[in-house]
Structure 1
Amino acid sequence: MRDFFYGIQDLFENVLFVPLEALRFTNSWWISNIINVIFIAIGFAAFFYWMKQMKKYDQEEKDDYQPII
């Protein structure tokens, strides 16, 4: 079981974080934070899509609710 978690650690440290290590030593603020800008854009797109779906659901909903007395 220990080897499994060390394998995950190795994957993240030696493979997935290599692009971030390259960006770490750049002198440009925009290049260093481009990943954050991309995540913020994805978050806004998902939020507006969700709001659009909620509006569509709200318009389709019929008031058939009858409380149990």
Structure 2
Amino acid sequence: MKSFFEAIGSLFVDFLFKPFDWLRELELSNWWAANFISWIFIIICCAALLYWIKQLRIFKANNEDNQDTTAHSFLG
């Protein structure tokens, strides 16, 4: 049983975490390159937030937005 957990530990440390080790080493030489993926995720989240707000405005303008607390059957 001990070898099973050691195999799981080896899988993560020796294989799956290697990209994170590479990013950690890259950060010492170039911060922007190391955080490029983070910036991409931030841009995607901002775009999704703007799209969501746009859709909320469309529903509110068409009076399709039901803000009554009993709008869902499980609330009333």
TM bracket, shorter-chain basis: 0.5 to 0.7
Deviating 4+ runs (over 6 angstroms) = none
TM-score for both structures, normalised by structure 2: 0.58
Cα deviation, residue 39, structure 1: 1.2
Distance in 1 (alpha carbons) for counterparts of 2:54 and 2:11? 38
> Structure 2: 5+ residue runs without aligned partners?
65-76
Match 1:47 to one of 49, 54, 57: 49
The one-letter amino acid paired with 2:45 is G
Superposed displacement of residue 35, structure 1: 1.5
Residue in 1 that maps onto 2:40: 38
Partner of 1:20: 20
Structure 1 residue runs without a partner (length 5+): 63-69
The count of corresponding residues between Structure 1 and Structure 2 is: 60
What percentage of residue pairs aligned between the two structures are identical?
36
TM normalised by structure 1 equals 0.63
Q: How far has the Cα of 1:24 moved from its partner?
A: 1.0
2:74 aligns to what?
none
Report the aligned-residue RMSD: 3.0
How far apart are residue 12 of structure 1 and its match? 5.1
CA offset digits 1:21-62 (Å, max 9, x no partner): 211101101011112101110110010000110011101116
